[in-house]
Amino acid sequence: MSADAPRPHDLLRLADETCFVVPGDTTPGGNAPGHAAPRSVDLASSTLPPTLPPTLPPTLPPTLPPWVPAALARAPWVVVRRALPLGPLIPVGVRGATRAERCAALLAPARVPIALSPEDLAHAALRERHVRTRQRTHLPVFHALARVAAVLDATGLPWGPTGSVGFELASGWPAATERSDLDLLLRPRGRLSRAETVDLLARLERPAADLRLRLDLQVETPLGAVLLPELARPSGEVLLRTPWGPRLVADAWASSGEVAVPPALP
């Protein structure tokens, strides 16, 4: 596993389910000062049972849902959630067989041998090998991925698939279906101008429309992530997804040193 802290949407591979602490979500203010928040959307693997912290947020239930062991037996991967860590524990999500089967949990980071980011899953050779060997060529979402990959690769910006497609590429488990959306993450190295976001949105909308599927691209910014269509709007506040929850902000590109974290939505 990389020495970097897992980020939202990174995928983590588990050797078994004993690495979990408890299910649930961390509450705002629950992370230690100066503790780097994990990135959403990376997948990782761990075999070491965690050491429970002295206190846990009271919102955490004591047991995992009954479907979790079977889900992890099928595909021992979890995704890093965009939430506050609890000390060293990473906020992750477990994916079951249906949309109703989603579970928030905390994961000890020790002995995590495999962690994949969306960028790791964007390589053409990996995508093409998976689609061919797993006989997934009939799914519109993989056709769309091949088309938008050409657009995104041309930008030179780090990007990758998330959601069901990202989970399937990482785990090998057939998470995508005929009706799956295509979820993507873009991690630019700096601020994108409105002209850049408008141009990129126009080039991505065509393949999605041709294949009649929904495309959701989140753009990572210093304090969270924003959907590309919101950044392309001429004016107005945008919905920023942060570890503290969703916030309406005037400037999604402001750094943590430039603005205070805005209050939660009512």
Catalytic site includes residue 16: no
Q: 118 or 49, which is more confident?
A: 118
Instruction: State pLDDT tens for residues 87-127.
Output: 788 888 889 988 889 888 888 776 566 889 999 999 989 98
Other beta carbons within 10 angstroms of residue 201's beta carbon come to 16
Residue scoring higher pLDDT (43 or 83): 83
Q: What is the pLDDT of residue 193?
A: 95
Is the separation of the CB atoms in 44 and 10 below 8 Å? yes
- Which one has a higher pLDDT value, 52 or 254? 254
For the chain, the structural domain boundaries read: 7-116, 118-249
* Spatial separation of the C-alpha atoms in residues 114 and 42, rounded to whole Å: 10
* Closest of 137, 219, 214, 123 to residue 174, by C-alpha: 137
* Residue 55, pLDDT score: 44
Instruction: Read off the pLDDT band of 52 (50, 70, 90).
Output: very low
190-208 mean pLDDT: 94
For residue 21, is pLDDT > 80? no
Side-chain-side CA neighbours of residue 26 (13 Å): 29
| pLDDT in the model for residue 110 | 66
Q: Does 203 have pLDDT greater than 60? A: yes
Look at residue 1 in the predicted model and tell me its pLDDT.
42
- Report pLDDT for 16: 56
Residue 198 pLDDT > 90:
yes
Catalytic, 181? Answer yes
pLDDT score of 5: 81
pLDDT at 266: 53
Tell me 118's DSSP state: G
Q: How far apart are CA 64 and CA 22, in angstroms?
A: 7
In the predicted structure, residue 58 carries a pLDDT above the cut 60: no
Q: Which of 10, 25, 42, 183 is catalytic?
A: 183
Active-site residue, selected from the candidate residues 16, 181, 199, 216: 181
E runs forming strands in 70-214: 77-80, 90-95, 102-107, 115-116, 159-161, 182-186
Contacts of 138 (CB under 8 A, 6+ apart): 178
